Amino acid sequence: MAAATLHRYLGKGRKLVDGIEKVTGRARYAGDVHLPGLLHGKLALSMYAHARIANIDTSAARAVPGVVAVLTAADLPTRGRQPASRQTTTLADGVVRYRGEPVALVLATSLAAAEDGLAVLQIDYEPLPGPVTPEAALDPAAPVIWPQGAPKGDADLTAAHAAVARGDDQADHEASNIHEHKQFSRGDALAALAAAEVVIEGTYRTSIVHQGYLEPHAVVADIDPVRKQLTLYTSTQGQFGVRDEVARLLGLRPSQVTVIPMTVGGGFGAKYGILEPLAAAAALAVGRPVRITLDRSEDFLTTTPSPASTITLKLGATRTGTLTALVAEIVNDNGVYPFTLGGIMSTLLGGYYRCPNVQIDVIEVLTHKPQAGAYRAPGAPQITFAIESAMDELARKLDLDPLELRLRNAATTGDPMGNNDPWPSMGLTKVLEAAANHPLWRERQPGSGIGLAIGGWPCGMSPAAAVCRVDTDGMVRVHVGSVDISGVNSSFVLVAAEILGVPPEQVEIVAGDTRSGPFAGPSGGSQITYSVAGAVAAAAREARRQLLEMAADMLEARVDDLDIREGMVQIRGVPGRTIPIGEVAKRAEEQAGGPGPIVGDGKAAPAENAPGFVAHIVQVEVDRETGRVKPLRYVAIQDVGFPINPLMVEGQIHGGAAQGVGWGLYEALRYDERGELLTASLMDYTLPRAADLPTFEAVLVENPAPNGPFGARGVGEPPITAGAAAIANAIRDATGVRIYELPMRDEVVWRALQQV
Amino acid sequence: MAAATLHRYLGKGRKLVDGIEKVTGRARYAGDVHLPGLLHGKLALSMYAHARIANIDTSAARAVPGVVAVLTAADLPTRGRQPASRQTTTLADGVVRYRGEPVALVLATSLAAAEDGLAVLQIDYEPLPGPVTPEAALDPAAPVIWPQGAPKGDADLTAAHAAVARGDDQADHEASNIHEHKQFSRGDALAALAAAEVVIEGTYRTSIVHQGYLEPHAVVADIDPVRKQLTLYTSTQGQFGVRDEVARLLGLRPSQVTVIPMTVGGGFGAKYGILEPLAAAAALAVGRPVRITLDRSEDFLTTTPSPASTITLKLGATRTGTLTALVAEIVNDNGVYPFTLGGIMSTLLGGYYRCPNVQIDVIEVLTHKPQAGAYRAPGAPQITFAIESAMDELARKLDLDPLELRLRNAATTGDPMGNNDPWPSMGLTKVLEAAANHPLWRERQPGSGIGLAIGGWPCGMSPAAAVCRVDTDGMVRVHVGSVDISGVNSSFVLVAAEILGVPPEQVEIVAGDTRSGPFAGPSGGSQITYSVAGAVAAAAREARRQLLEMAADMLEARVDDLDIREGMVQIRGVPGRTIPIGEVAKRAEEQAGGPGPIVGDGKAAPAENAPGFVAHIVQVEVDRETGRVKPLRYVAIQDVGFPINPLMVEGQIHGGAAQGVGWGLYEALRYDERGELLTASLMDYTLPRAADLPTFEAVLVENPAPNGPFGARGVGEPPITAGAAAIANAIRDATGVRIYELPMRDEVVWRALQQV
């Protein structure tokens, strides 16, 4: 925390700028938008995982008072166009391929009327066979889901989360339920494994996990029927991407679509655009504004959860604990459309530790389930569960301290990642050293139920711009194009405050839409603070320069002699002569022949990314009677580079760690053999509640990122990565039993205990 | 039009960018804004010009279903605070001082319920005496309207319209119905007048004229009751001024108030904020959003029309037609609150012509009528009617061509204005020369009903900023803080298109609110094109610089060898190598370690203003039986500097000339002796209809302004100034009768004809 003392505001915790709005219900979400003539949309969702749509009889639905239209695929301008990213939904055309796929849209003047219309909408299906699990899909006898080849999107969502190169395509490109097979390798892993002094082997299974945001998907599409101008009010992590996809699917120019990002009630990777093209197409079809909001069950049924992964992992090492080989096969259950996480999963799996011989095969499988999508650090909890469980077992086999084993092999800056690119500046060793010094680890007793795991994430790095304006009342307004899903605005205010020398209350962040906003990348990949804060800083510096130039004239002083403190320009060493920045701004807005109003732009385009690494230590208590695992203490150590607003950083760490506990102990979307979702409500889908969670202690390690603003690194994704593995290792420590399957619910643990 | 050939887009007429929105009803006005929980407000307006409010019984009104509250002055947080500008209205507290003054506000869940509530609201008045005309107010025996001194605002609206110095205060500062008496002088005018070889003398009267916008005042105030954050959606000419005034009156910080300027259905000086503080106070009082829209009669009763003026003018000249003396007294009827136009009226009256001896007294009088306010070129139609009628008479007396007399005496750059400051670059002589060459003037026959008058306006010059962003689809978006009341955005697109080398369809102007917008002055004083277009040009130049820098890298060429044509960057002389600017922008938004997204800011703060002068020639036909005057042809010659978008410039000239005809022949708000408005509907208040207007021919003179963007001058106000005088001179030519009173309705002309 040494760096904080250099700063007046940076590095000191400060509450959320929009916390009061949110807790008092004043924040405006997409579902709160009301427009004249608004129609409420209710989706008819497929009842089958695979079926032909034999007939849709809309007459009864259309006869319901208030129902204005019942739309099917044939009514939409999107018909015949493929989404660029298969995250986006329109309406099924002839065939449904997962339970929950939207088939028709009832539009009515009230939600109640739309629901009444939906209740009498008659859709006849002819069920068809098809695999709903990867095992079934990989059976050579299984029907091929996409005989003509799966519809592939242009967009690689992984790229939004982590700028990493992708491996070599191993697929044979014949029609198959494998949409991609890639191999990542270096050295000769099979030979090295065969020659290894010690080998650890295991198959790890993870479940389909939902992002579990508080606010289900919601969008309002407004249409100017004359000029075909669309305005979308939506809950999104990235307005620019949504705009481009909606325009493409509707055959409009991007400039005909304006996306206004509303307050987001949680995204976690799932809000890059799902319903927007459908709402937009419906508005275009009927010429009126359309609102679609999903209820919780609809959201579970039709959105984009994480893929489930099966990871077979073999590690080879010397007797002294040096890794020599890593061989892995990853099978991802991606649901009905291609979704590719192999690149990032391999990059991490083959990159956490130095190992000269690596071979990772990733087999991406299609099934009759909803399409998989991004969920905070996509792919990382899965591979981290595998590698960190295996490392724990390796340490036990070698009778080494598991932390010591990790330190010996930990990758560091310049070492190859799984894709063989070198790691940029990273701090795995530093977080391990901090873990070694933490009392929970240092003073642990064998068998006390304490486990350790590391994890990491490369972090994205989109270029970004910001505009900083000083107002006549002294308010500093910073205009950005990013969406605040995680408290980033509450960090930006400190950046501008620090540079301009004004109290943070005098700074306001103004979020732009696709028409007004300066560009920023989407709020994913832990990148917003990393990339946008640099632009905010640059814009604030330019505004400061303009302020001082104008103030020098007003105070008859040299620019170099001036400073700004508490919002007042002052001459260094001359205490009496001060002038509020609002007055300087006023002069600038009034002076004929002067430099003009105080407004400056700033950009940032970091040249490399800034991986964030964590070491999580968790202590659990296991009830041997029931198998119930109770997490007691949780220490989340993270290399954050520099915590611009430590309160926000700690919030990210708490939230990520809580979700990691969810991955580890509770959460799973379960489907039956026909592809019916068995966990379509919060009663069945076990999101952890506060009482299910341990106390989290966040420990911030400051290992500055060379390209980060003030040394900051991305912090959003790393904290979700290690939890499941740390808990598995803690259970192993407490019980002697290794669990290979997530979530580690009572029954799973109990069964494993029975086998000892 | 020579300059236009230098340009690709500038100087070439192009339609309104928002014309289709407006004609198809898609444009969103303030009255269209709907918010959850919205309350509709209906104002109880005083029935008396002066009365004590004895009692307000709200019980019956409150009992009406749907009525939520009935507010009086005591319920508002504004109580006890004086508006900075008396343009703004709250609620009368104890005493009403004009017919139409708001007394109470009924708030209901529907407009119908509010109207029902208003119908049964019981307000008891005790009528009080008081002067309603300047003649009565100036009677020493008259009750003094403000015995404790009139409430004076800080704001001088004149300054917003024309940056001119003000004269010496002649008032004795005892309580009186004269709120200001100033004298402007140079030389010894009384002596020069006494010694003059020829003297012309007359007293000219003008009426109270309403701005006659299509859209009556409308505002929606939204309130966050927790943080006391106000958002106003309003029809305004200047969002920043409205914000500051609302904040001051409500005791909030300006940053707690966001003003979102909506599409404006005409302002003409009356929309700098009237109802906004009241709507905001009401929203704050009840904690819900409030909408107040005026109907036409309410708007006539309670808003801020032009003052009526009585101008006694004496001109002295030599026999050869050189002006030697100008002595004038101006009495303005300002209604119930101070409103000061003396500075600008004297500046113009004493400035159109070179005259060594000038003495102008301005007596600003209070009466029990609604407060006067700004109306397009405030004060100019009045003094122009006087001086241009007098010059016409002087020419006749000297047997000189009236245009020749004007040319001999016309002021030019550097000559003193009425306030003795020198004229900046101006083109009075040039428009007179153009008039001399126009066939309507050159080929006229004496007695054919042709009249000439000149007029002018100094033009404002607020500093302004703009931000220019290039999007990945090649769209150029320019963010400005100005309100488009007159087509300025349709000129800005050409400025950005010209500089960036893109078709105008690829340019969009994005108007900011007080939080998001770069600063611009209010849309008044003919200043927006003059000041903001310069900022747009600077921002576009910066974006161009960034585009070329990035494109040089992509095309492997030198920046100096690049050009942009039709939205494509190209290497000069290498036809094949081109790249669309959208692709350059995309690269900038993606390139790690690059310069960052294409966004540039620009500022303009012209060092001097750029007066616009006109010469109007009008031909009329006078029916001697009825006195009816029919304008037949109308030639409006104007020095526009450079017409960035000639279609917009001509639109301004047509509109201003039409309003000038209204001043001359039709429009007047009439009050009876008790201060009751007799013309409170469009049936009584005679706005000219299309059939009442002549064909307008606009002639653009290009006399570049040294500080204007591409030489442009302000064009909005000049065309309203000369019409009434030109028509009076045409009537004189047609009939031999001089009319000294506006409007010159049938009866006025008929009576004058009877006296010949």
pLDDT tens-digit map of B92-129: 999 999 999 999 999 999 999 999 999 999 999 999 99
Specify whether the CB–CB gap between A227 and B21 falls below 8 A: yes
Do A557 and A594 lie in one domain? The reply is: yes
Residue numbers of A between 203 and 232 with CB closer than 8 Å to B: 224, 226-227
Do A322 and A428 lie in one domain? The reply is: yes
Instruction: Tell me what pLDDT residue B1 has.
Output: 40
User: Which chain A residue has the Cα nearest residue B287?
Assistant: A26
d(CA A247, nearest CA chain B) in Å: 11
Instruction: Tell me what pLDDT residue A2 has.
Output: 45
> Mean pLDDT throughout A368-380?
96
Instruction: Tell me what pLDDT residue B225 has.
Output: 76
Chain B residues touching A518 at Cβ < 8 A: 467, 469, 597, 599
Residue B509 within a domain: yes
Do A586 and A702 lie in one domain? The reply is: no
d(CA A655, nearest CA chain B) in Å: 27
Nearest to B637 by CA among B485, B437, B486, B409: B437
Q: How many residues does chain A have?
A: 756
User: Which chain B residue has the Cα nearest residue A288?
Assistant: B26
Specify whether the CB–CB gap between A713 and A641 falls below 8 A: yes
Of the three residues A579, A604, A629, the one that is the final residue of a domain is A604
Q: How far apart are CA A206 and CA A271, in angstroms?
A: 22
Report CB contact under 8 Å: A477, B535: no
Specify whether the CB–CB gap between B301 and B100 falls below 8 A: yes
Report CB contact under 8 Å: A477, B508: no
d(CA B503, nearest CA chain A) in Å: 14
> Mean pLDDT throughout A520-533?
92
Instruction: Tell me what pLDDT residue A154 has.
Output: 46
Q: How far apart are CA B385 and CA A168, in angstroms?
A: 85
**Confidence band of B218 (pLDDT split at 50, 70, 90):** very high
Report CB contact under 8 Å: B608, A593: yes
ipTM of the prediction: 0.88
Taking 80 as the threshold, does the pLDDT of residue A204 lie above it? Answer: yes
Per-residue model confidence as pLDDT tens digits over A341-352: 999 999 999 999
Do B254 and B402 lie in one domain? The reply is: no
Instruction: Tell me what pLDDT residue A499 has.
Output: 97
Q: Which one of A229, A516, A527, A583 would you mutate to disrupt binding with B, by most B Cβ within 10 Å of its Cβ?
A: A516
User: Which chain B residue has the Cα nearest residue A159?
Assistant: B590
**pLDDT over 90 for what percent of chain B?**
88
Do B478 and B536 lie in one domain? The reply is: yes
Instruction: Tell me what pLDDT residue A225 has.
Output: 75
> Mean pLDDT throughout B596-610?
95
Instruction: Tell me what pLDDT residue B216 has.
Output: 97
For A463, which of B227, B521, B591 is closest by C-beta distance? B591
Per-residue model confidence as pLDDT tens digits over A392-431: 999 999 999 999 999 999 999 999 999 999 999 999 999 9
Q: How far apart are CA A721 and CA A383, in angstroms?
A: 9
Tell me how many domains chain B contains. Answer: 3
User: Cis link prior to B743 (omega < 30° from 0)?
Assistant: yes
Chain B residues touching A515 at Cβ < 8 A: 477, 508, 510
Specify whether the CB–CB gap between B76 and B118 falls below 8 A: no
Q: Which one of B21, B462, B469 would you mutate to disrupt binding with A, by most A Cβ within 10 Å of its Cβ?
A: B469
Q: How many helices (H) and strands (E) does chain B have?
A: 21, 27
Q: Which one of A459, A599, A707 would you mutate to disrupt binding with B, by most B Cβ within 10 Å of its Cβ?
A: A599
Instruction: Indicate the residue type of A313.
Output: L
Residue A711 within a domain: yes
Does any CB of chain A come closer than 8 Å to the CB of residue B633? no
> Mean pLDDT throughout B344-354?
98
Instruction: Tell me what pLDDT residue A547 has.
Output: 98
Does any CB of chain A come closer than 8 Å to the CB of residue B469? yes
Does any CB of chain A come closer than 8 Å to the CB of residue B597? yes
Report CB contact under 8 Å: A596, B590: no
Of the three residues A302, A325, A359, the one that is the final residue of a domain is A302
Taking 60 as the threshold, does the pLDDT of residue A155 lie above it? Answer: no
Instruction: Tell me what pLDDT residue B148 has.
Output: 87
Stretch among A733-747, B9-23, B308-322 having the lowest mean pLDDT: B9-23
Per-residue model confidence as pLDDT tens digits over A293-314: 999 999 999 999 999 999 999 9
Report CB contact under 8 Å: A519, B469: yes
Report CB contact under 8 Å: A34, B36: yes
**Confidence band of B81 (pLDDT split at 50, 70, 90):** confident
Do B511 and B627 lie in one domain? The reply is: no
How high is the mean pLDDT of chain A?
Answer: 94
Q: How far apart are CA B463 and CA B86, in angstroms?
A: 25
Per-residue model confidence as pLDDT tens digits over B308-324: 999 999 999 999 999 99
Does any CB of chain B come closer than 8 Å to the CB of residue A588? yes
End-to-end CA distance of chain A: 46
Taking 90 as the threshold, does the pLDDT of residue B174 lie above it? Answer: no
**pLDDT over 70 for what percent of chain B?**
96
Q: How far apart are CA B508 and CA A257, in angstroms?
A: 13
Q: How far apart are CA A259 and CA A241, in angstroms?
A: 9
Instruction: Indicate the residue type of A565.
Output: R
> Mean pLDDT throughout A622-628?
97
Classify each residue of B538-554 as buried b or exposed e, where b means 16 or more C-beta atoms within 10 Å of its C-beta. bbbbbbbebbbbbbbee
Q: Which one of A467, A541, A550 would you mutate to disrupt binding with B, by most B Cβ within 10 Å of its Cβ?
A: A467
Does any CB of chain B come closer than 8 Å to the CB of residue A605? yes
* Cross-strand partners of B698: B636
Do B699 and B578 lie in one domain? The reply is: no
Specify whether the CB–CB gap between A8 and A73 falls below 8 A: no
Specify whether the CB–CB gap between B570 and B563 falls below 8 A: yes
Residue A390 within a domain: yes
Do A554 and A491 lie in one domain? The reply is: yes
Contacts of B274 (CB under 8 A, 6+ apart): B87, B88, B89, B217, B302, B303, B304
Distances (CA, A) of B564 to B470, B561, B601: 13, 11, 20
Token output for A562: 């001036």
Specify whether the CB–CB gap between A34 and A293 falls below 8 A: no
How high is the mean pLDDT of chain B?
Answer: 94
For B593, which of A593, A596, A607 is closest by C-beta distance? A607
Do B444 and B469 lie in one domain? The reply is: no
CATH number, domain with residue B506: 3.30.365.10
Q: What residues make up the domain containing B439?
A: 308-460+608-754
Does any CB of chain B come closer than 8 Å to the CB of residue A590? yes
CATH number, domain with residue A292: 3.90.1170.50
For A594, which of B508, B601, B605 is closest by C-beta distance? B605
- Write phi, then psi, for B182 (nearest 5 degrees): -120, 150
Of the three residues A576, A604, A632, the one that is the final residue of a domain is A604
Do B318 and B412 lie in one domain? The reply is: yes
Residue B678 within a domain: yes
d(CA B156, nearest CA chain A) in Å: 14
Q: Which one of A250, A519, A531, A581 would you mutate to disrupt binding with B, by most B Cβ within 10 Å of its Cβ?
A: A519
Stronger pLDDT, A460 or B70, i.e. the higher one: B70
Q: How far apart are CA B698 and CA A518, in angstroms?
A: 41
Chain B residues touching A589 at Cβ < 8 A: 462-463, 519, 521
Classify each residue of A290-308 as buried b or exposed e, where b means 16 or more C-beta atoms within 10 Å of its C-beta. bbbbbeebbbbbbbbbbbb
Residue numbers of A between 479 and 518 with CB closer than 8 Å to B: 479, 508, 510, 512, 515-516, 518
Per-residue model confidence as pLDDT tens digits over A571-609: 998 888 899 999 999 999 999 999 999 999 999 999 999
Do B452 and B539 lie in one domain? The reply is: no
Classify each residue of A701-712 as buried b or exposed e, where b means 16 or more C-beta atoms within 10 Å of its C-beta. bbbbbebbbbbb
For B226, which of A24, A467, A510 is closest by C-beta distance? A24
Do B120 and B252 lie in one domain? The reply is: yes
Report CB contact under 8 Å: A479, B516: yes
**Confidence band of B463 (pLDDT split at 50, 70, 90):** very high
Does any CB of chain A come closer than 8 Å to the CB of residue B527? no
User: Cis link prior to A743 (omega < 30° from 0)?
Assistant: yes
In B66-224, DSSP assigns E strands to: 67-71, 95-96, 102-108, 122-127, 168-169, 178-186, 198-205, 218-224
Instruction: Tell me what pLDDT residue B228 has.
Output: 81
Residue B399 within a domain: yes
Q: How far apart are CA A705 and CA B284, in angstroms?
A: 47
Q: How far apart are CA B202 and CA B160, in angstroms?
A: 31
Chain A residues touching B596 at Cβ < 8 A: 463-465, 535, 603-605
Residue A203 within a domain: no
Burial status of residue B115 (CB atoms within 10 A of its CB: 0-12, 13-18, 19 or more): middle
What region does A733 belong to: left with phi over 0, alpha with psi -120 to 50, or beta? alpha
Residue A168 within a domain: no
Taking 70 as the threshold, does the pLDDT of residue A162 lie above it? Answer: no
* Other beta carbons within 10 Å of B474: 21
> Mean pLDDT throughout B142-152?
88
Residue A632 within a domain: yes
Instruction: Tell me what pLDDT residue B288 has.
Output: 94
User: Which chain A residue has the Cα nearest residue B248?
Assistant: A473
> Mean pLDDT throughout A57-69?
98
Instruction: Tell me what pLDDT residue A4 has.
Output: 47
Burial status of residue A161 (CB atoms within 10 A of its CB: 0-12, 13-18, 19 or more): buried
Residue numbers of A between 17 and 36 with CB closer than 8 Å to B: 20-21, 24, 26, 32, 34-36
Taking 90 as the threshold, does the pLDDT of residue B399 lie above it? Answer: yes
d(CA A547, nearest CA chain B) in Å: 14
